[in-house]
Amino acid sequence: MSKVFNFSAGPSMLPEPALQAAAKAAIDYNGCGMSLMTMSHRSKPIVAMFAETEALLREALDIPQNFKVLFLQGGASLQFCMVPMNLLPQDGCADYTITGVWAKKAAKEAKLFGKVNEACSSAEATFSYIPKELKQDPKATYLHVTSNNTIYGTEWKSFPKPANPNGYLVVDMSSDILSRKFDWTNMGLVYAGAQKNMGPAGVTIAIVRDDILGKVERVIPTMLSYATHIEGESMFNTPPVFSVYVVNETLKWVKSVGGVDALHKINERKAAKLYKAIDDSSFFKNPVAVEDRSPMNVTFVPTAEGHDEQFIDFCKARGLVQLKGHRSVGGFRASIYNAMPEEGVDALIEAMKDFEKQL
């Protein structure tokens, strides 16, 4: 079979070594004679694997010791309600930055538990930029940010500081975690669904500062309490063992290529050449403010109507798949996460040029 480059926004490409290790583990995990998927999550090999995965993640992102690392289920969408349920007092307020669909959904869930102040929004421009000025509530418990907006192709290059000196940041990093280092100083909680840049669907990472919990009076269902999962070391119930294992192998791959800093340089180079190809084209254009362009999700649209499906089919014939833009914005989207090799980006650029020549 010829090589296929998958530009899907998620589930997305995974590193080849992680896929090969997963294939072996599905039959026989580390010589145990059993599939990883049939082993008890409380067996010594699996407990050790979870501990190793946490250690690898801490190393990759320089996570301070006063943060707890949790391996949860339910995707980032469940975090939209877990965050305010655990952190937002009933008489309190939280600031939310509205920079895309997922940010809007997070804010909607938070309104079920307390007051939400929309600190900024780029909805009036179809989320084509990151707002530079925020109107925060000075008493807000936390400031919520969606670091990278997968559908629209924008990214916060640096995070805003909470206006409340006792407040903290809550960041949804589902689509750019492990692509860059960041400052933990103002962080309270970072969460990310794995299926874009870290592993397969099924596991969600939550990294929680240990002093922000236990400050709300509401009764929290056992499974929805961060404290439950901290106490149970992510094993209060049966965790998604196989998904965590693929995260483990992905983190080993990250380390093998030089870590997050090395990947950041590679990602910037991949994105720069693709954006240049778009900017140099007379047929494609990028609708995003230049300073806010995402290095993870590159969106582009045709300057003339009627060629969308033609271009998609042209790319598919070359082994370049999942390039169709989200239905809310149309056009095209190339998700070039960590595991997308540079040759995949080069192949897409070549296809863009060849397609334009034949018009």
Identify the active-site residue in 172, 176, 253, 270. Answer: 172
d(CA 163, CA 146): 17
Tell me which of 95, 156, 176, 196 is the catalytic residue. 196
Of 68, 95, 102, 137, the catalytic one is 102
Decide if 253 is catalytic.
Answer: no
Pairing of strands 148-149, 142-146: unpaired
Q: Report the interhelical angle of 44-61 vs 241-256 (nearest 10°).
A: 40
Of 318, 303, 320, whose CA–CA distance to 356 is shortest?
Answer: 303
Decide if 172 is catalytic.
yes
Q: Are 300 and 351 in contact (CB under 8 A)?
A: no
Q: 295: which DSSP letter?
A: S
Q: Is 338 exposed, middle or buried (0-12, 13-18, 19+ CB in 10 A)?
A: buried
Look at residues 117, 102, 74, 118 and name the one whose alpha carbon lies nearest to residue 226: 74
- The helix/strand/coil state of 190 is strand
And the tokens for 250? 């992905």
Q: List, by residue number, the catalytic residues.
A: 102, 172, 196
